[in-house]
């Protein structure tokens, strides 16, 4: 998606990326980035929380108005579990996995890749 932001911006249309993977988006490099420190899948605001979703959108909209240079990141106020950061331990954490778990993950990854390729 960061590549697409780059292309759209080059075409003269200002972009904002609303995302949750800060290091990835900033590594690729985008003009404007509204970052929420929440689990992947929730970059437009907290689930079942209209106020949070409105707030995150407002941050994104204000970025259009206020950024003066590319690679501008703002962090939205969205907080997962009221600021308990323990959720960050679990995503693809090798130290919490076993060989058996990884073998299973690999088999499933291959299976899903084959399924996806069937549709290409």
Partner 1 sequence: MASVDSVLPEAFPTQPIQYLSRTRAWYSALGYEPYRWPHHDQVPFAPLAKPLAESRLGLVTTAAPLQADTGDQGPGAAYNGSAKFFDVYTSPTDDPADVRISHIGYDRIHSKADDANTWLPLTRLNEAVEAGRLGSLTARFYGAPTVRRVRSTTETHAPEIIQALRDDGADVALLVPT
Toward partner 1, which CB reaches closer, 54 or 77?
54
Contact criterion met (CB below 8 Å) for 81 and 69 = no
Toward partner 1, which CB reaches closer, 27 or 82?
27
Under the binding rule (CB under 8 A), the answer on residue 102 touching partner 1 is yes
Q: Which of 82, 93, 98, 100 binds partner 1 (CB under 8 A)?
A: 93
Considering only residues 20 to 49 of the shown chain, the ones binding partner 1 according to CB under 8 A are 21-25, 27-31, 35, 37, 39-48
- Give the integer Cα–Cα distance in Å for 118 and 49: 38
Closest approach of partner 1 to the CB of residue 74, in Å: 14
Beta bridge partners of 32: 72
Toward partner 1, which CB reaches closer, 57 or 74?
57
Considering only residues 49 to 88 of the shown chain, the ones binding partner 1 according to CB under 8 A are 50, 53-54, 56-58, 60-61, 64-65, 67, 69-71, 80, 85-88
Contact criterion met (CB below 8 Å) for 44 and 57 = yes
Spell out the residues 6+ positions from residue 34 whose beta carbon is closer than 8 angstroms to its own: 16, 17, 18, 19, 56, 59, 60, 63, 73, 74, 76
């Amino acid at each position: 998606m960061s590549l697409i932001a780059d292309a759209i911006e080059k075409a003269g249309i200002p972009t904002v990326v609303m995302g949750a993977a800060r290091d990835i988006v900033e590594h690729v490099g985008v003009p404007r980035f509204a970052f929420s420190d929440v689990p992947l899948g929730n970059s437009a605001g907290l689930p079942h929380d209209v106020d949070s979703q409105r707030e995150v959108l407002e941050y994104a909209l204000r970025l259009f108005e206020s950024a003066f240079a590319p690679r501008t990141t703002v962090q939205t106020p969205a907080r997962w579990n009221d600021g308990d950061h323990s959720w960050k331990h679990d995503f693809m954490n090798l130290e919490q996995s076993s060989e058996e778990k990884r073998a299973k993950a690999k088999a499933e990854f291959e299976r899903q890749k084959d399924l996806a390729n069937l549709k290409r």
